[in-house]
Structure 1
Amino acid sequence: MAHPYENLFRRPYEAVSSIAALASVGALWIYQGLFLVTPATGGILSAGLLSLAAIRARQARRLIRFQRNLRRLPTYSLTANEIPCSSRELFLGKGFYWTQEHTQRLHIARLPQYKHLTARNELYQWARRVERQHPGWLANLLRRDAWWNPAKPLPPVGGDPAIHGVEPDERDMWSSLGERVGHTLVLGTTRVGKTRLCELLVTQDIRRGDVVVVFDPKGDVELLLRMYAEACRAGREKDFHFFHLGYPDASSRYSPIATFSRITEVATRLAGQLPSEGQAAAFREFVWRYINVMARAMVALGMKPSYEVIYQNAVNIDDLCLKYFEYWLDRDHSGWRDEMSEPDKQLQAQAQKTGRAMYPLQILKLIRDKGWHDQIADGLASVLTNDRSYFEKLVSSLYPLLEKLTTGPVSKLLSPDYSDPTDPRTVFDWQKVIDTGGIVYVGLDALSDFEVAGAVGNSMFADLTSTAGRLYKFGSGYGQTTPGKKRNVCIHADEFNELVGDEFIPMVNKAGGAGYQVTAYTQTGSDVESRIGSKAKADQIFGNFNTLVMMRVKNLPTAEILTDQLPKVQVYTRQLDSATGDGTDDGVTDFTSRTQDKYSAREVALVDPSDLVQLPKGQAFALIEGGQLVKLRLPLASKDADPLMPTGLAAVVKSMRSTYQAYADAADAGRVIGMQDFEGSSSNDLQRTGGVSSNVTVEGAGRGF
């Protein structure tokens, strides 16, 4: 039976035994006569001593390596070509399955008697004091990253390296792709490597040929570049879509409300952005009905709904009513114009009182006098008969939202003119993206306008959920002559707390059967609860993520999302017990003494919440494949430049770097970046890069993965 208290923290005394065995072999062959052995006997003895030396050296090396990892982990980096990819499994990085053994080791590592083995021991602190006091050649010597320097500075990742160092034999960690349909939640405070993990997963998704959609509210330039480089590496650059609210001139166009299965979805996507608490709920329902009436009329007239068109009709619905009345009456009641009468005083008074146009009211009077009925016309009539100023107060919350979505260049981006031949920017929708195996980067520019970013992101989620419904009912390739290939749709939502809404719940709850695989990245559980406004709904969202990856977090409730799912284990504590006693009456024994080790067990959490607060950047605990706890370490970006990094998005990249300070974010996340300056792209070049057929050039060196 193995001893319950494994001591890997003692001095490596096996090294002495190994050296002694090697010295004995040398002495045996140099002084053969002194030992009186024959050559055959000497050979046998030498072989035995060499075996003993090798065994003891291996044991000593294991202890030395274990204790070194408690202070500093070896560098782990991968180039783009070195990232493994499998059609059956998902690569997560290096790591190991965390068990009671590792909890025991971490408990021992934090005992006071082993403080000298920790990363920031007395020697390390002394070296840093000398650096500050003597900033000359001695400081440079102490800062040198060399094997002979035991006090060199730690890498800028913070945390406690002992959490991962308790297992020196890490290996590549994989998770079954079958678990991806159960969705993945990644939690971690800002700048600890969530986007780096996103890059790692997105790289594999692109290489497998899956549909990849990445929502990036803050605008991480390295993520954009990585996606395009991997699309080029996989031969899928023509499938790449660049959509960014902050760069409309270089972006593909997309209408969040142009495609739908049922007409009511248009109203749901727009009204869903309005407040729904307290008395605002009644106004929200009124706005929903108002938009739905307009949308039904527009579709009947052959008009494609868009933010711009809805705004135009919302502020002046009289024109829409007139167009539909004339269309319907011409279709069903030809000759109606001959039956029109001149407006009487009562009708004139009504027009003056309500503020409505006279001619639509004339037609409405004819319709009522004749007793003609049509569902859409009846809905428009109910709006038209209301006082204009009173009605606008009821729907006043709609106008600011539409104003934000139809102001400036963003208006043409979100309300594309499909008939404009002079606009080179392509237009995409989710059904087309899924059918063609597209790759979409969605930059929402939340730092500039978080309300517009949230509204567009929510509408996109609602559109994706609606598309999942069509895939359920009709399968891939709906509307085409031949059935399409069923594809996995990998959705990565960075900072998804800024985008989450009620429409996100059915996506993670029901869209798995349509091939949707959602990976959501956020900082805390409270962010989601605050955004969605309900703890019950936040718990409902979290309950639909079968895989949980938790990086460093800063508050206890978020850490407990992971630790509350883990079992309790027993750790053993060793205590030295020594005692002496008087001698016996036999006259021979003057005193007695006793020294022994006592072992006691106590129950602790498999992982304590405080361990998650002390995780270094780029490290995580993960619950995968039905609650298996693994400790992960993500690969750093290699210093080797990636030749497939694009230069055609030079102006966008330069602007994103200066606006979002991506270099600072990347450095804080522990990345190693070797990005060179992009050159040679005009504004005309940029306009040709936004869309499926982007001709972005890729010569030149770029950042290594």
Structure 2
Amino acid sequence: LKRMYLEAKRAGRLNEFYVFHLGWPDHSARYNAVGRFGRISEVATRIAGQLSGEGNSAAFREFAWRFVNIIARALVALGRRPDYLQIQQHVINIEGIFQEYASKYFDEYDPKAWEAIVAIEGKLNEKNVPFNMKGRPFRVVAIDQYLSQTRVADPVMDGLRSAVRYDKTYFDKIVASLLPLLEKLTTGRMAELISPDYQDVNDPRPIFDWMQVVRKKAVVYIGLDALSDTEVAAAVGNSMFSDLVSVAGHIYKFGVDDGLPGGVPGTKVPINLHADEFNELMGEEFIPMINKGGGAGMQVTAYTQTMSDIEAKIGNKAKAGQVIGNFNNVFMLRVRETSTAELLTNQLPKVQVFTSTPASSANDSATGNTAFTSSSHDQVQQVSVPMIEPAHVVGLPKGQCFALMEGGNLWKIRMPLPGHDPDEVMPADLQALAESMRQTYQVGKVDDTGWWSAPGYQTLNESLPADL
């Protein structure tokens, strides 16, 4: 964080520097992960894509996708920008948005409909309400019955009506897997960050989106606080990746300046993305980003510990290989897993080396003037051996790595360790944020307090009795 701030300051781009951190909402910028889209269906994909698709869960994920898509279409038709809070509110209470959209539609296309709806509502009671509409407000039942008597060719109205016509108990069951995810994303102050209130002019925290960031050539630090809540971090991170893929697709087709007066069609700018511990955030959205994002100028640098981390997250060895195969360059520092080291060593050609084998012999001679005979020679052979063994990678010192670049050129690199960055130039709130992150995330320094400071471990440092 400190390094990014200082480099942005040196580059004269401090006004375009954003910090988004789920762990410190007071100092964080705000970002709506589902507020910008090329197609409305992307909203449902970003939310329902976080649900499990294994086995029987796949059917429930498809149901969740459909209902989120219905709600997102209705929100856009009502002139609102979708966010997690509104999606959660209308998943819990689908009748509210159904009545609201019906009011807008009838006021615009059929003003006399309300007279018939009120008349139908006056005749309803608990006995004559259809079984599948039990528990619904009478106004909702009246609107549904009026729509049954008339022909309304409106896809948004049809979608909302089909959702309302489900039995309420059945509807709650098929969206049961969606609600826990939405609860996690909208609980506490985190909702302020990922469901920002665009009309709150008293909130000084900026709101950014990826197209705005790319056009301004901004610098963005994203902290997802995965150590505290891995599921929420993965959900927000995957939504960000999905949004970024959508932006990359738009840039690939139309350029960065599309829609701006005086813009040059097809203009692209380099987009550099650095993802640390990216296996924690990786989902289906990450694969098209590294596979096709280069056409939009996107350059992805991903950091992880082992190959197994990627396979464990995706759950598919073939897809893990697909992810790794889309990276052009490999920089490998010291690793502890042999299979990870073999990712580098197996791509290197074998080399020919010469081996010298010394040999000598002596034989007794029982006749003549010769007491013995001896010979000595060196046998030279050409042997094919690997250029680098996995043991060489496992034993790398700190600050050194092997780099496989430009299609197969091998480099041995020594990197200087980063020095201490002065924080006097940083604002007070970012200094406090950086100090809190240092104490929370970098446990293990000499002056830090950790598990070894507990009384049980402190006694291990005491002197032993004389008899021991």
1:382 Cα deviation (Å)?
Answer: 0.6
Q: Match of 1:254, SS?
A: coil
2:58 alignment partner in structure 1? 281
1:108 alignment partner in structure 2? none
1:225 alignment partner in structure 2? 2
Q: How does 1:284-683 map to 2 (within 5 A)?
A: 284-340=61-117, 341-343=119-121, 344-345=123-124, 348-350=128-130, 354-483=134-263, 486-582=268-364, 587=369, 589-638=370-419, 642=422, 646-648=426-428, 649-661=430-442, 664=445
Contact 1:226/1:645, CA 8 A, preserved across alignment: no
2:461 alignment partner in structure 1? none
Deviation above 6 Å: which 4+ runs of structure 1? none
1:590 Cα deviation (Å)?
Answer: 3.7
1:666 Cα deviation (Å)?
Answer: 13
Alignment CA distance shift 1:604-1:232 (3 Å): same
1:644 Cα deviation (Å)?
Answer: 7.0
Per-residue CA shift, 1:600-624, capped at 9, x if unaligned?
3332211111221111122111110
Alignment CA distance shift 1:560-1:447 (3 Å): same
1:585 Cα deviation (Å)?
Answer: 6.2
What residue identity is the alignment partner of 2:37?
F
What residue identity is the alignment partner of 2:440?
T
Q: Match of 1:570, SS?
A: strand
1:663 Cα deviation (Å)?
Answer: 6.5
Cα separation, 2, equivalents of 1:355 and 1:339? 22
Alignment CA distance shift 1:419-1:647 (3 Å): closer
1:350 Cα deviation (Å)?
Answer: 2.7
Cα separation, 2, equivalents of 1:665 and 1:316? 54
1:483 Cα deviation (Å)?
Answer: 1.6
Per-residue CA shift, 1:186-230, capped at 9, x if unaligned?
xxxxxxxxxxxxxxxxxxxxxxxxxxxxxxxxxxxxxx1101011
Alignment CA distance shift 1:577-1:644 (3 Å): farther
Contact 1:269/1:462, CA 8 A, preserved across alignment: yes
1:570 Cα deviation (Å)?
Answer: 2.6
1:352 Cα deviation (Å)?
Answer: 8.4
1:549 Cα deviation (Å)?
Answer: 1.2
1:654 Cα deviation (Å)?
Answer: 2.0
Q: Match of 1:249, SS?
A: coil
Cα separation, 2, equivalents of 1:568 and 1:615? 21
Contact 2:362/2:373, CA 8 A, preserved across alignment: yes
List runs of 5+ in structure 1 lacking aligned partners. 1-223, 668-705
Residue number among 6, 31, 47 corresponding to 1:270 in the alignment? 47
Alignment CA distance shift 1:459-1:643 (3 Å): closer
1:647 Cα deviation (Å)?
Answer: 4.8
| TM-score of the pair, normalised by structure 2 | 0.90
Contact 2:36/2:243, CA 8 A, preserved across alignment: yes
Per-residue CA shift, 1:148-207, capped at 9, x if unaligned?
xxxxxxxxxxxxxxxxxxxxxxxxxxxxxxxxxxxxxxxxxxxxxxxxxxxxxxxxxxxx
Cα separation, 1, equivalents of 2:390 and 2:203? 54
List runs of 5+ in structure 2 lacking aligned partners. 449-468
Cα separation, 2, equivalents of 1:470 and 1:354? 45
Contact 1:233/1:644, CA 8 A, preserved across alignment: no
Per-residue CA shift, 1:252-301, capped at 9, x if unaligned?
00010000000000000000000011110110000000000000000000
Q: Match of 1:321, SS?
A: helix
Contact 1:239/1:437, CA 8 A, preserved across alignment: yes
Contact 1:225/1:645, CA 8 A, preserved across alignment: no
Contact 1:232/1:644, CA 8 A, preserved across alignment: no
Cα separation, 2, equivalents of 1:665 and 1:551? 24
2:32 alignment partner in structure 1? 255
Contact 1:228/1:240, CA 8 A, preserved across alignment: yes
What residue identity is the alignment partner of 1:657?
R
Cα separation, 1, equivalents of 2:403 and 2:446? 23
1:494 Cα deviation (Å)?
Answer: 0.4
Cα separation, 1, equivalents of 2:445 and 2:78? 52
Q: Match of 1:519, SS?
A: strand
Looking at both structures, which has the greater relative contact order when contacts are Cα pairs under 8 Å and sequence separation is at least 6? 1
1:572 Cα deviation (Å)?
Answer: 2.9
2:462 alignment partner in structure 1? none
1:346 Cα deviation (Å)?
Answer: 7.3
Contact 1:228/1:645, CA 8 A, preserved across alignment: no
Q: Match of 1:630, SS?
A: strand
Contact 1:351/1:358, CA 8 A, preserved across alignment: no
Contact 1:244/1:445, CA 8 A, preserved across alignment: yes
Cα separation, 2, equivalents of 1:309 and 1:665? 47
Per-residue CA shift, 1:408-433, capped at 9, x if unaligned?
11001100001101100000000000
Per-residue CA shift, 1:345-402, capped at 9, x if unaligned?
5785237853212112211211110122211111111110111111111010110101
What residue identity is the alignment partner of 1:329?
F
Instruction: Report which of the two structures shows the higher radius of gyration computed on alpha carbons.
Output: 1
Q: Match of 1:342, SS?
A: helix
Q: Match of 2:147, SS?
A: helix
1:342 Cα deviation (Å)?
Answer: 2.9
Higher mean alpha-carbon deviation, 425-434 vs 468-477, is at: 468-477
1:248 Cα deviation (Å)?
Answer: 0.6
Cα separation, 1, equivalents of 2:231 and 2:342? 31
What residue identity is the alignment partner of 2:333?
M
Contact 1:354/1:385, CA 8 A, preserved across alignment: no
Per-residue CA shift, 1:58-85, capped at 9, x if unaligned?
xxxxxxxxxxxxxxxxxxxxxxxxxxxx
Cα separation, 2, equivalents of 1:309 and 1:353? 23
| TM-score of the pair, normalised by structure 1 | 0.60
Contact 2:133/2:165, CA 8 A, preserved across alignment: no
What residue identity is the alignment partner of 1:520?
A
Cα separation, 1, equivalents of 2:312 and 2:132? 46
Contact 1:229/1:644, CA 8 A, preserved across alignment: no
Per-residue CA shift, 1:68-105, capped at 9, x if unaligned?
xxxxxxxxxxxxxxxxxxxxxxxxxxxxxxxxxxxxxx
What residue identity is the alignment partner of 1:551?
L
Question: Size of the alignment, in residue pairs?
Answer: 442
Contact 2:32/2:195, CA 8 A, preserved across alignment: yes
Task: State percent identity of aligned pairs.
Answer: 49
1:214 alignment partner in structure 2? none
